[in-house]
Amino acid sequence: EADGEAEARLLLQEARESIEAARSYRRELEQRLRGLHQARNQIRESATLTRDVLEQHFNDLKGTLKKLLDERLMSLLQEVDAIEQDSIKPLDECQKLIEHGVSTADDLLREGESAVHGDVGQQNEKLCSFTKKALHIQLDSLPEVPSLVDVPCLSAQLDDCLLTILKNQIFRHGTVASRPPVQLEEFVEKPGGILVRWCKVDDDFIPQDYRLQYRKSTASHFEDVYVGSETEFIVLHIDPNVDYQFRVCARGDGRQEWSPWSVPQIGRTTLVPHEWTAGLEGYSLSSRRNIALRNDSQSCGVLYSKAPTYFCGQTLTFRQVLSGIETVGQPDRRDSLGVCVEQQNGYDSLQRDKAVCISTNGAVFVNGKEMTNQLPAVTSGSTVTFDMEVVQLGPSSNEGGNFKLRVTISSNNREVVFDWVLDQCCVSLYFGCSFSYPGWKVLVF
């Protein structure tokens, strides 16, 4: 009886496992069906869009060609009119002259006949008058009429090779691509931004430049955000928890036209943007509060972030940008860019306990102590990055005790790596900066 119960339990367990496997199998099949549905929709939607683009393009071409042909026809017709008018004008003048001569000759004939057949008493007087008039008219002078070989004979010269050229060009105009040569590859969340990566999927395509566009899901038009030779770009000024559509295309080496767009993909970030704290005398902030400018105020101190928005596992980037006509401000040994556990007022530098930073001369400080390793000096256009990962010490970091973060600071293609030991668990940190002289302008992202 016990064996029967055990066998029943075993069969029941196997049945439950089979049911769960069947459910999992069904979920996988449904997921694949959704994938097939999406693929079918993409083919149909892209085919419909391509038809619309082709029809619109060729309709525009037909309209433009008709307009150009009409303009050329009108120009040629106007040229015919001008030649006709210029050539007919002297003939009209000659005709008027001849018609006037015919009229004068008719009058003279009538007068002559009247003089010859008139009364004898008045005949001599009439004949004398007629003879004088005939001599005055110069009956031996005739207007010259041009021969047919001397007047224009208009004709149209139409070269049929234009049709051949147009035919060859039209038959080669336009192509249909089944897939773009570049595709979006990865989206990486950044505070207030998204790192977009793309890759070439056509081995025969040699790219010269890439063009990245994006738009909010609620917007109707894409806008350019990057054009260049890199295959990744950080798109800033992204609102958290909002969908954005991205697409990328490329321009082949030595070519002017862009390739077809990649399949649009949706990216988003859940990370709030990094912001400096507003209101500190000595620093002016941009409208988005991600750029801080050291002004000419005599006040000094550390400018901190608004909140501890830097999390371990992320990359924190500081970039020096131009400020007016100045490159950067005058350096000072107390200058610093870095991160800290907490805001501490009363300091004029991050070169203190519970902070790691780099000075503008390249010196690296950990908990206020300068390291032997040094990075290049911070200058105009310099980019400084902080990367941290948690290295736990002791049985439980939540109960106090030593806690270690592995820190990598990079500047101008050089980096230093060290362990930062803290007395408490800390995975979100403040960032800060301090500059003694005006002119320094730093962007954080």
- Tens-digit pLDDT profile for residues 84-107: 999 888 888 888 888 888 888 888
- Is the domain defined by 283-444 classed in CATH 1.25.40.10? no
Structural domain boundaries of the chain? 12-152, 182-267, 283-444
On average, the pLDDT of the chain sits at 87
Tell whether the model's pLDDT for residue 159 goes beyond 90: no
How far from chain centre, in Å, is Cα 28?
A: 40
The model's confidence at residue 397, banded by pLDDT at 50, 70 and 90, is: very low
* Greater pLDDT, 158 or 124: 158
Q: Kindly report the three-state secondary structure assignment for every residue of 355-418.
A: EEEECCCCEEEECCEEEEEECCCCCCCCEEEEEEEEEECCCCHHHCCCEEEEEEEEECCEEEEE
pLDDT of residue 300: 82
pLDDT of residue 326: 44
- What pLDDT, in 10s, does the model give residues 115-131? 777 665 566 777 777 77
Tell whether the model's pLDDT for residue 22 goes beyond 90: yes
pLDDT of residue 345: 86
Compute how many other C-beta atoms are within 10 angstroms of the C-beta atom of residue 52. 10
**CB 274, CB 192: distance < 8 Å:** yes
Q: Among candidates 205, 214, 211, which has minimal Cα distance to 250? A: 211
DSSP notation for 186-249: EEEEETTEEEEEEEE--TT--EEEEEEEEEETT-SS-EEEEEES-SEEEEESPPTT--EEEEEE
pLDDT of residue 118: 67
- Note the pTM of the prediction, 2 decimals: 0.60
Q: Compute the distance between CA of residue 180 and CA of residue 249 in angstroms, rounded to an integer.
A: 8
CATH for the stretch 182-267: 2.60.40.10
- What pLDDT, in 10s, does the model give residues 320-348? 875 544 456 788 899 999 999 999 888 98
Tell whether the model's pLDDT for residue 83 goes beyond 80: yes
pLDDT, mean of residues 383-405: 73
pLDDT of residue 320: 85
